[in-house]
């Protein structure tokens, strides 16, 4: 029976100790502990969230990079194509120009040759004329050196005229 | 560091002087060591271990017992009386005749105090024969074995959890280390598995109460399992469990909402004709619930204490050491079981407290 008989003294001390304990532990233990634990949980959660976010951002960046790379490739191809076309065009143009220029040069060379030739011919003509005159002079001088010869010549000339 | 060591040294000194000064071992052998007189009474031994007492019994029986006396504080008509329990004529319980029945008790000064410290009678001592003059009711506020255990439990709780609290105050929101990593999972257990399911978002307000109750009971239970300090059955004492259940009831009542009372005095979905039956039942339920709470803890812990003493008692009942072959393994098993029970009962008490508070603070969204 004593086992189930409450004792005032123990009840008093238990109440007293419990209230003091509740107060002291609440102030110096539970509050800082729960606060820190909560803070830590928030911290971990936000860290996890941040890492998740970073991961998705990373994936996004990666895909963006891929897009950029693809774009760059396309652009490169386009540029290469353009360059090739331009090169072809330039080569073609250059060919045309070169041909024209060559023709022009050939033409002018031909002209020059022609002119030179003309000049040379003229000079040769002049030379021939001078030489002919000189020869003619010598021959005339020879032919007219004697009276007989003069006479023969005049006769020849007269005869010729007659024949005509 | 220096200061800490000094404090520790001081505590050790005080403790040692307290113990050596107050130990009194009456080592004189009994004059007539008659075997028949010292017959082992298993029921009295088992119950005696589960009960409170005015000294801490370490070893020995009767005359040669080693005790730590504790302060006795009595509130009488003459005010408070303080003295050490060693001032009782220990081992020599006096007897008086009261209403024709033999009553055990102690003699202190000119008083006869009955065994349960409920009545005091001024007596005239004439060589061991006491005659009652008049009886006065007294109230016992002694620092008994259980009160002493209560103080130790409280001291341990403060020591452990203030240290943990300090760790977090100093380091902020970091991962736990050392003692903190032992206690933190339990604190989180109380928060996430006891408070959260029953109280939900309103748990913050009740966390200090639930945590204190949980660790108070658990530490008290564990302290009661230590054999060499005479297993103080603090948490298995009905006074202790009454107080804790009362606190739960008080918290429940203080924070009760309208929905809770509405549920009791006009239960929804019940025909009005049944109200006369249901309302008294529901109303009684308010008090039955904490009563069940206090009986559960009391019965579980006391039963554990009695079982352990009874199993050890087999050896003494049979009077042969050979029985320890059965007794010791069984005691070991029960002791291990008691470690589990110590935790389980703390959990159940806290859990039901949270549940009761949870129903009281419910706004009544049904």
B12 falls within a domain? no
Check whether residue B138 and residue B154 sit in a common domain: no
B117 falls within a domain? yes
Hey, are the CB atoms on A37 and B184 less than 8 Å from each other? yes
Quick one: average pLDDT of B13-33? 41
Contacts of A10 in chain B (CB under 8 A): 52, 144, 146-147, 150, 237, 239-240
Per-residue pLDDT band for A154 (boundaries 50, 70, 90) equals: confident
Per-residue pLDDT band for B45 (boundaries 50, 70, 90) equals: confident
Hey, are the CB atoms on B302 and A3 less than 8 Å from each other? yes
- Has residue B124 got a pLDDT over 80? no
Choice among A151-160, B156-165, B188-197 with the minimum mean pLDDT: A151-160
pLDDT digits (tens, 9 = 90+) for A102-151: 999 999 998 999 998 888 888 888 888 888 888 888 887 777 777 887 78
Is B211's Cβ below 8 Å from some Cβ in A?
Answer: yes
What's the pLDDT at B33? Answer: 40
Element (H, E) at B55: strand B55-59
What's the pLDDT at B54? Answer: 81
Q: What percentage of chain B reaches a pLDDT higher than 70?
A: 78
What's the pLDDT at A129? Answer: 86
Check whether residue B205 and residue B351 sit in a common domain: yes
Hey, are the CB atoms on A14 and B243 less than 8 Å from each other? yes
Check whether residue B116 and residue B170 sit in a common domain: no
DSSP notation for A2-63:
GGG---HHHHHHHHHHHHHHHHHHIIIIIHHHHHHHHHHHHHHHHHHHHHHHHHHHHHHHHH
Check whether residue B199 and residue B278 sit in a common domain: yes
**Closest residue in B to A12 (Cα–Cα):** B141
- Has residue B120 got a pLDDT over 90? no
Quick one: average pLDDT of A55-76? 94
Check whether residue B240 and residue B345 sit in a common domain: yes
Q: Please enumerate residues of A whose Cβ is less than 8 A from a Cβ of B.
A: 2-15, 17-18, 20-22, 24-26, 28-37, 39-40, 43
Q: Which residue, B265, B241, B267, is CA-closest to B353?
A: B241
Check whether residue B138 and residue B149 sit in a common domain: no
What's the pLDDT at B162? Answer: 92
What's the pLDDT at B5? Answer: 59
Choice among B225-229, B292-296, B300-304, B337-341 with the minimum mean pLDDT: B225-229
Hey, are the CB atoms on B141 and A31 less than 8 Å from each other? no
Choice among A125-134, B18-27, B211-220, B221-230 with the minimum mean pLDDT: B18-27
Is B51's Cβ below 8 Å from some Cβ in A?
Answer: yes
What's the pLDDT at B363? Answer: 72
Among B142, B159, B181, where does a domain finish?
Answer: B142
- Has residue B17 got a pLDDT over 60? no
B360: β partners? none
Range of the domain at A123: 7-163
Check whether residue B237 and residue B124 sit in a common domain: no
Pick the more confident residue, B13 or B344. B344
Among B114, B142, B170, where does a domain finish?
Answer: B142
Check whether residue B245 and residue B294 sit in a common domain: yes
What's the pLDDT at B92? Answer: 54
Beta strands B94-98 and B24-25: pairing type? Answer: unpaired
Q: Which of B146, B174, B211 sits opposite A30 (nearest CB)?
A: B211
Beta strands B119-126 and B111-114: pairing type? Answer: antiparallel
Check whether residue B180 and residue B196 sit in a common domain: yes
Per-residue pLDDT band for B330 (boundaries 50, 70, 90) equals: very high
Quick one: average pLDDT of B302-312? 91
Number of domains making up chain A: 1
B32 falls within a domain? no
pLDDT digits (tens, 9 = 90+) for B82-118: 888 777 754 456 666 666 677 777 777 667 777 666 6
Is this complex's ipTM strictly greater than 0.90?
Answer: no
Over its C-alpha atoms, chain A yields an Rg (Å, rounded) of 64
Contacts of A28 in chain B (CB under 8 A): 161-162, 165-166
Check whether residue B160 and residue B128 sit in a common domain: no
How far apart are alpha carbons B249 and B357 in whole angstroms?
8
Is B150's Cβ below 8 Å from some Cβ in A?
Answer: yes
A116 falls within a domain? yes
| Mean pLDDT of the residues in chain B | 81
Element (H, E) at B11: helix B2-22
Is B186's Cβ below 8 Å from some Cβ in A?
Answer: no
What's the pLDDT at B126? Answer: 56
B42 falls within a domain? no
Number of domains making up chain B: 2
Packed helices B203-223 and B179-189: angle between N→C axes, nearest 10 degrees = 120
DSSP notation for B102-168:
EEEEEEETTEEEETTSSEEEEEEEETTEEEE---EE-EE----HHHHHHHHHHHHHHHHHHHHHHHH
Interface probe for B, chosen from A12, A20, A21 (most Cβ of B below 10 Å), is: A21
Contacts of A13 in chain B (CB under 8 A): 141, 143, 147, 150
Range of the domain at B92: 71-142
A60 falls within a domain? yes
What's the pLDDT at B244? Answer: 96
């Amino acid at each position: 029976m004593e086992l189930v008989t409450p004792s005032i003294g123990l009840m008093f001390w238990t109440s007293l100790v419990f209230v003091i304990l509740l107060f002291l532990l609440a102030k110096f233990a539970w509050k800082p502990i729960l606060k820190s634990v909560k803070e830590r949980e928030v911290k971990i959660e936000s860290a996890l969230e941040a890492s998740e976010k970073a991961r998705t951002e990373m994936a996004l960046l990666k895909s963006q990079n891929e897009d950029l790379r693809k774009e760059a490739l396309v652009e490169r191809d386009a540029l290469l194509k353009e360059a090739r076309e331009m090169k072809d065009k330039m080569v073609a143009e250059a060919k045309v120009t070169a041909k024209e220029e060559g023709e022009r040069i050939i033409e002018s060379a031909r002209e020059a040759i022609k002119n030179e030739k003309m000049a040379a011919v003229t000079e040769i003509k002049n030379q021939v004329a001078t030489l002919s005159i000189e020869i003619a002079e010598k021959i005339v001088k020879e032919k007219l050196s004697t009276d007989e010869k003069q006479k023969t010549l005049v006769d020849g000339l007269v005869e010729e005229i007659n024949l005509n | 560091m220096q200061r800490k060591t000094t404090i520790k040294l001081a505590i050790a000194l005080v403790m040692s002087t307290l113990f050596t000064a107050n130990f009194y071992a009456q080592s004189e052998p009994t004059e007539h060591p008659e075997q028949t007189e010292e017959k082992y009474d298993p029921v009295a031994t088992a119950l005696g271990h589960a009960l409170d007492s005015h000294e801490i019994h370490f070893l020995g029986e009767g005359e040669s017992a080693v005790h730590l006396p504790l302060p006795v504080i009595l509130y009488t008509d003459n005010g408070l009386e303080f003295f050490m329990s060693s001032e009782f004529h220990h081992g020599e319980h006096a007897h008086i005749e009261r209403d024709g029945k033999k009553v055990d008790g102690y003699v202190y000064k000119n008083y006869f105090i009955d065994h349960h410290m409920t009545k005091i009678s001024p007596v005239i001592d004439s060589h061991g024969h006491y005659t009652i003059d008049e009886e006065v009711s007294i109230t016992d506020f002694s620092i008994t074995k259980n009160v002493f255990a209560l103080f130790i439990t409280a001291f341990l709780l403060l020591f452990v959890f203030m240290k943990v609290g300090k760790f977090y105050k100093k380091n902020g929101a970091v991962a736990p280390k050392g003692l903190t990593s032992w206690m933190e999972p339990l604190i989180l257990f109380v928060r996430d598995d006891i408070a959260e399911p029953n109280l939900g978002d309103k748990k913050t307000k009740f966390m200090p109460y639930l945590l204190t109750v949980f660790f108070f009971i658990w530490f008290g239970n564990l302290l009661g399992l230590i054999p060499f300090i005479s297993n103080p059955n603090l948490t298995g004492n009905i006074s202790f469990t009454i107080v804790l259940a009362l606190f739960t009831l008080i918290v429940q009542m203080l924070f009760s909402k309208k929905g809770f009372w509405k549920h009791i005095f006009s239960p929804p979905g019940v025909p009005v004709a049944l109200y006369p039956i249901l309302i008294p039942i529901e109303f009684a339920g308010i008090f039955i619930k904490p009563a069940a709470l206090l009986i559960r803890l009391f019965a579980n812990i006391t039963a554990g204490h009695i079982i352990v003493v009874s199993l050890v008692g087999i050896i003494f009942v049979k009077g042969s050491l050979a029985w320890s072959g059965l007794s010791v393994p069984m005691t070991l098993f029960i002791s291990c079981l008691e470690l589990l029970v110590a935790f389980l009962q703390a959990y159940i008490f806290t859990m039901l407290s949270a549940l009761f508070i949870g129903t009281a603070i419910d706004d009544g969204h049904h």
